[in-house]
Each structure stands twice: as C-alpha cells, then as structure tokens.
Amino acid sequence: MNLHLSGIGISRGIVSGRVMRLSDWPQVSERRLPPRRVEGEVSRYLAALQRADEELGTIRSGIPAGSPPEIAGFIEAHQLMLRDSTLSTAVIEIIRARRCNAEWALKLQRDELVTAFESMDNPYLRSRRDDVDQVVMRVQRLLIEGATRKNRQKPDDNDDTPLILVAEDISPADIISIPRRGVAAFVTEMGGPLSHTAILARSLRIPAVVGVHHARRLLHNRETLIIDGKRGTVVASPDEKTLKSFRRLEREDRRHQQHLRQLKGAPSCTRDGCNVSLQANIELPDDIGAARRVNAEGVGLYRTEFLYLNREDLPDEEEQLAAYRKVIRAMKGAPVTIRTLDLGADKPLDPEHGGHISPNPALGLRAIRLCLNQPTLFRPQLRALLRASAYGPLRIMLPMIASLEELQRVQALIGEIQTELDEDGLRYDPDVPVGIMIEVPAAALASRLLAPHVDFFSIGTNDLIQYTLAIDRADEEVNYLYDPLHPAVLQLIDMTISAGKRAGIPVSMCGEMAGDPGYTRLLLGLGLNEFSVPPTTLLEVKHLITTSDSSELARQCQRILRSASPARINHMLAELNQA
C-alpha cells in the first residue's frame, strides 16, 4: 500500500531505494572504571577527538566548487571546538575525577556547555549550542563505534540498492560525506530551500526532500522508498503502478540531463538574440576545473576567505599572489573577478589578528569595514591582487560597500599601493577594473550615485535579501521570511540594474538567486545579462536562457514589479516559468 508524504523539494532528481534511518542522540550511561583503566580511557577519548578532527578535515577538502564560504567556516569552527580545552581538557578532568567512561564524561560536559550557551543574552552566541551538539554527536558516535566495532554487522555486499537517508535534520558536514557512505538521497523532517544543507545538496546533486513531518516515525529501516527532489514527493512501499510512473519520470529526467550536457559548447543567447554571460562562483583555486568543465565564460566570484581560515598565521603577499595567479592562468584569458576579504559575521577572524565577537556579527565589523579597520590585513591582499593583474584579466570586487566614502577610501589605498609597486618596479595592470558588491540596501538605493565611481556592479542577493527583510536565513525561527520575491527585494534589484545601464557599466549577480533556475527568467526580464553561478547549476541556467525571449520577459516582469502581493508575484513567476 502506497504511503504518500509531501515536503519541500530542494534538489532535483528521482531516486528509489531503501530507507536508512539516521539515529538520534546515542544513548550513553555511566560506567565506573577501576583506577588502572582510567588513563587508557583518556587515551581512547583523545583518539576519538583526533579521528573526529581528521574526518572534518577530509570533509572540508570535499566541499564542492561554488559552495557558500560559510560551509567551510562551519566545518572549521567545529574543528576549533574539538581542539578547545572545553572539549578536551575539561572532559579528561571529568574522566579522571569521576573514574568514568569517556561517553559519560562527554555527556556531562556537553550538558554544562549547552546550559551556558542557552543562558547567553546574545542570540547569535545562543544559537551556537547547535554547533556544540553536532561536534559532541560526532565524537560520541566515534566512541561508541570503537566500543562496538567487533559486534557490528557487515553490510550486505551483494545488495547494491541505493540508500535513502531519513533523519530529523542533517548538518552540512554530513551532507558532504553522504556520497562516500553509499547514500543516494535524503529526507529530513526539518529544513528549507535556502538552508546550507539545501545549497550543498544542490551543489552535490543529491536528490533531497526536506520538511517531511514525522518522517522518522512513518518510515522504517529497509523499507522501499521513492523520492522526487523536484516536486517534493516521498512515496513509501510503492506498488508496481507507482514504481512504473516514477521510473518514467526518472527516464525523462535522465534525458533532460543529457540535453544539458550537450549545451556545454552552445552559446548563451536568448531566442531573440540577447547574449548573456554565464560565469562561475568558486572558492578554491582547484575549483577552477569544475568551472571549465561546463565552459564557464569566466569566474564571476572568487572568494578569498579560504586563505585566512583555520590557521594561526595570516597569508602573506606572496602566498596570496600565488593563489590568485593560479586561477588567472587556469582560466586562459577568461576574466576572473576576485572578491576582497569578507570575514566577520559567521566567518570570524582570529582575535590575535584583529577579529572580535560583535554583539550582532552580521551588522558588525565585517568585510570592507574590517579591512579598512585593519590596513595591515588589507594592504597585502591589495598588493597581491594588483600584481596578479599582470598575468591576465582580473577584476577586483569590494564586498559590503554601503557609502561613497568607503569606496573612496579603498580607491585611495589602491592608488597608494600602485605608487609603491611603481617604485618597486613590480608589474600590474594600471587599468584593473574595480567594482562593488551591491548587498547592502543603502548601496542599492544609492546605486545611481555610486555607479559613476566604479567599473562594475555585482549583486549579492544572499545578504541583500536578509538585510532588506531584517532576518537571518540561517535562523530556523525566522528563515521562512527570507523571500527573494519580496517586492522590496525586486525593486532594489531592478534599481541596481537600471543604474548600471544608465552609467554604462556591467551589472552581474553572484548570489544564490542567480544560480537558482526558478529565478532565471525573472532576472532576464529585469535586464540582467551577467550571471555568476555554481558550476553545478550553470547548464540548467543556460537551458532556460536559450529557451527564453528576453523582450517578452521584460514586458511580463514590469507587471511583476508593479505588484505588491507576494502571492500574486509567485503566481506570475510560475506563469513565466511555464512559457
């Protein structure tokens, strides 16, 4: 008998397989140890910490190209927690003082930490209790796995049926390791389409449905399951008729993917002859391969934070130059847009190098504010970027600019550094383009005034949306309010594109909205003709561009801009996407 469940499809693809439920918190109990076994228990705990750290390091190296930098920061924060005395020294002291097993000592310390976090007035710091839980869960599982290794059943090597993970929620670190565990898809009770988990699932092309209420209670281990990650459908114990229906949809999806692969060499042009530039977002120099495999026309966003995170020292000018030069050379003449350092908020800089914990990190000392506040941090990056411009077409992009004064301070600093490079006899492109990200509402509202002073705009929708609507999309309590189609957001995007066109400068978009095929036709209709997207979604976006008429879309989008009703806007967008 079919059991139909519905949720939110966050990553397209149709998969049939068998359920593998992810267990909740492992149950642990206290065991008293004889004195001779205490130090052995300490060693067992330290070994589990080391294995957890190594696991996260492996996961960090497997982050797909184009993923948000917050994912790397999330994993690195967990590694730092593992190394902190509150999870190492404190737990060891409990083991020795109580002569108890490591699992119980870790539980006691976790409970104490969670109580401390929950008592904090700062909402941002209070939310970090989830990180504590995820780190402790990882170590607990390793401890329990080691204790029960001899008794575990071996997997059935003859059963190659895909596994579909069913859980309350899945962390980004677990998402990255899913392919290595033989899992083909996942279903969760929590989550939304804009969470880090959703973004990663799309990047890794793992079909997924989230927000399926009571999934763990209704779905049983080894039960046959079908999920449709596009439509948000989950079917348990399907009958033969249902299986045939989904297999037909699966064949159609495979044909569509084959068609997308054939688009790699095709021009990115609308049916009425409007050329659209499709570039890629990357985070690491090695990600360039993913961009080239889909014939990206350049790099529209190269994030530089990876050079600064998870290390005790700061990267010097030569190290940065080598990283930037590697990407520029690999693109073989295609333009590369490199964003200057965007640390702060959820990617804090080590306090030893000028970082600090702000009462409200998203609105505090971050991005260009941090860089202007710490010139010893910023100058080496600007020198490296200018020197890298001698090796190929490079654009420098400044994040979180909110005023002309901030922009002029950076431009003055660039001028000083150019004079230094001339005196040192070092090569650079004196006409290297310098542009800004439009991600603060003030910048969008003042875009007409800022445009004459820059060489290009790039709209960063992730921050623009959350700052405009005053919500944190990572906060499960309010992220349902995160709406790219809010009339205010659409007006700011339209305002920015119009200001760029009047000033004769290029306007691109590098935020999550640009890489979501559901918004491609809307953005084309608003006049956007430069997209910077994750390599994994570039071909899907190209497919929509090549099947669209930009002049007709522009006419329809004017109706959308005149609407104040989110429901009406969603309805009109659905009509736009069905054309």
Active site residues: 196, 510
Q: Using DSSP bridges, classify how beta strands 208-210 and 8-11 pair: parallel, antiparallel or unpaired.
A: antiparallel
Residue 193: how many other CB atoms lie within 10 Å: 21
Q: Reduce the DSSP state of residue 321 to 3 states and report it.
A: helix
Backbone CA torsion sign across 285, 289, 291, 295 = positive
Q: How far apart are alpha carbons 568 and 489 in whole angstroms?
A: 15
Token pair in block for residue 446 = 């003042």
Residue bearing tokens 């004459």 = 452
* Cα within 13 Å of Cα(345), Cβ side: 17
Q: How far apart are alpha carbons 320 and 368 in whole angstroms?
A: 18
Q: How far apart are alpha carbons 82 and 50 in whole angstroms?
A: 8
369-393 exposure pattern, b = at least 16 Cβ within 10 A, e = fewer: bbbeebeebbbbbbbbbbbbbbbbb
Q: Cβ(209)–Cβ(8) under 8 Å? A: yes
Backbone CA torsion sign across 77, 92, 94, 90 = negative
Alpha-carbon distance values, 199 to 182, 507, 554 (Å): 20, 24, 28
DSSP-derived secondary structure for 85-142: TTTTHHHHHHHHHHTB-HHHHHHHHHHHHHHHHHT-S-HHHHTTHHHHHHHHHHHHHH
The residues that bridge with 163 in the sheet, in sequence order, are 18, 183
Amino acid at 29: S
Token pair in block for residue 155 = 């997997």
DSSP-derived secondary structure for 198-233: HHHHHHHT--EEE--TTHHHH--TT-EEEEETTTTE
Amino acid at 540: E
The packing angle between helices 240-262 and 535-546, to 10°, is: 90
Q: Which residues, 6 or more positions from 462, have their beta carbon under 8 angstroms from its beta carbon?
A: 68, 439, 473, 511, 512, 513
